[in-house]
Structure 1
Amino acid sequence: MGAKMTEQLLGEPAAGRRTKILSHLDGRTPGRSLPGALYTDPDVFTSEVELLWRRRWLFVGTVAEVPEPGDYVTFDVAGSSVLVIRDDDEQVRAFHNVCRHRGSRLVTSGNGSVGNLVCGYHSWTYATDGSLRYAPQLSPEIDTTCLGLRPVALREVGGLLFCSLAAEPDGDIDLVADQISGYLTPHRLDRAKVAAQVDLVEEANWKLVMENNRECYHCEGGHPELTCTFFPTWGLREDQVPDRLRPDHDRYLLAEADLMRRCDELGIPHRLIEDLVDRPLGFRIQREPLDGVGESFSADGARLVGRLLGDLDDPQLGRCTFHSQPNAWVHLLADHVVTFAVTPISPDRTLVRSTWLVHEDAVEGVDYDLETLTAVWRATNEQDATFVRNTQLGVSDPAYVPGPYNDAERNVDDFVRWYESQIRSEAQEKGGAR
């Protein structure tokens, strides 16, 4: 078969899928949720993998997950497995988790620690920097320097790790890093450790998972544990606050003023920076007050960990919340950090990985109780899983008609606008736009 014919056979289905996803986007009414097919169609999902997940910077974890040389974690997305490892020189690197011999998965566990990376199939052995060290019975005429593990672009931002599967990653990560690093560094994730990590597979499209996180419209009735410390008026303008929530909002304003004063005294940035629609790595970051004592995610807002992060000595720093598109949100508090990484599995299944970090010297059972530390977000995640599962069922129903967003859902609308913009720009680059 000729190369041209092969290219046509491979290219036409992809072009057809791109045409389909663009057609669905053409049918969207601005200010309303997406058409149902964009949450359910397998061809749409395949196009998203091609146009988005293999092209954008993805949150994969934190430096605290690979604290020592030889420590590694894997991140599986869009059919690719990425191996993130700290090498013998203390540098965190990322590689495709694929042996350079005949393609076997190099490591099969989600995390661990190694001296060398040894393929379980034919014992090809790689150093932690990815170079090939040993290949039994390989001809001496073969240049082994060309057979190291294939690198994946990796960028650390204040202890958060992002990777890109693109052959030529965009430089947006550096521009974002310049704006958010100051918010992250006081928490010193390089001096933190993993207290717990929970994987939850939610039965919904990845966009529904992200949309659900981008609003608290559902929080008042849906998250009783979370709203012990989350103010129920989050996302509402002053003129939108209903009378029944006015006491909560007045309390929020007082807590906000006190938090801003504390942050200014400590030289900790707190203002809102939001660029959610127009850039490849859409993001939002802000330090906001917590209700009650204002220290942590607990029933009364009091701290959950006796040892504060980094060199912080004031526990009443609320929450610094960072989220990025397509797949992350992070809450940084004085006593702990909780990160969330979203990865699509199929059109209607999504993995949400939640990771709790505490100070590297904090002792479980002495400085914190693990059950109490994780209680609020374990409950909240389970509640959200139910919400998005029911929504997936609804958008799959022929009776579904996209409904209008309200002002409290403006970040949802921003996410959807970002999604449409990124899909269109990538499809146009690949020749699929009309």
Structure 2
Amino acid sequence: MADLFDTAAQMPDTGPRPLADRLRPQSLSDVIGQEQVLGADGPLGVMLSSGSLGSLILWGPPGVGKTTIARLLAHETDLHFVQVSAIFTGVPDLRKVFEAAKLRRQNGKGTLLFVDEIHRFNKAQQDGFLPHMEDGTILLVGATTENPSFELNAAVLSRAQVITLKRLDHGDLERLVQRAEKEVDRALPLTGEAREALIEMADGDGRALLNIVEQIMAWEVDGKLDRDALATRLMRRAAQYDKSGDAHYNLISALHKSIRGSDPDAALYWFSRMLEGGEDPRFLARRLTRMAVEDIGLADPQANSICVDAWETYERLGSPEGELALAQAVIYLALAPKSNAGYVAYKAARSEAKQSGSAPPPKHILNAPTSMMKDQGYGAGYEYDHDAADGFSGQNYFPDDMKRPVYYTPVERGFERELKKRVAYFTGLRSKRGG
């Protein structure tokens, strides 16, 4: 049966080929930048040396070699390579792929099915792979730029090992440029600074870098272009950022932890990265307010007001002026004294409230609007705190059979220093008065 998805690979290649395609590695040892998974002690290296390659999910940013590695794995293990894209492939297409793989298997040939953008398949489509993975019809290698734990079914993940591929660093990209120069047999017409700028423009994406290199090689220039001349001729690539994807969660986590770590410069950097990526400033305003109540709390009660005011200022001014108010809130939060004592106390109280069932309040703090309730002891023995010495009666306000817990333990930072003194003061009075 003809395989509709790999017939193109069998056709003679007589047309011009892009530089990125011409430089595609011919063996796994030629792959640049993924030594942590392809080396002798890396997960793929160990699988290949032991002859036990299993289904895989290759997770990493664009242009780091996911497709190339999948193709070379098929070559190394003598499996027939079939590639599909989740964007363009439907259930009928997958059925044809599985039927062809079954016939191939009957003839003694295995199939490595590479699924690009596998996270774009819905749950039912992902479930469709399971029986063919389990009976050995296919060895699945999926590629995704999104966090597999969020985007892929647990059933698929339980049958495949996730391999994390890293963004190409400066050294990796420089090696790619050198490989390209060797392929075309001439050096790039760039100064050292312009070459650095070129690598920055690639933003860790090897495929994008080679496409830019190919474009530069086609220019007719006298001498070498400097950084400014290169910037004039090329548009900088937009930063990789998906407001609903993994980068979104990674960057907001970086912003939150930078503020928690009292680093205003790092916090401003991640805040700016999110804005440059097109993040909604209202989302950032909401998260900043959450940080104020979660990580600063009563150590600086003004922090929450600063965030709400900045949020309102943004709503009134809009972009870009309103973003400055949010940036100032970022700086304030980063430099504010930190305490999660209120947050911890709240969570502990909520947890105990769930566990304690429906234990009633002690009768002495219940109102008694009717004579029947008075007869039942409602309000009996209540001491009005304003009439007590120091305005504090020290009575018990927890259920009668409940051991007094301690939820709130203020820290020795910021305004909570004062609150800690007050807690100790009332604790001492309560002990003296037998509360």
TM-based fold match above 0.5: no
Larger relative contact order (Cα-Cα within 8 Å, sequence gap ≥ 6) = 1
Which of 1 and 2 has greater Rg?
2
Q: So what's the TM-score if we normalise by structure 2? A: 0.22
TM-score, with normalisation over the residues of structure 1? Answer: 0.22
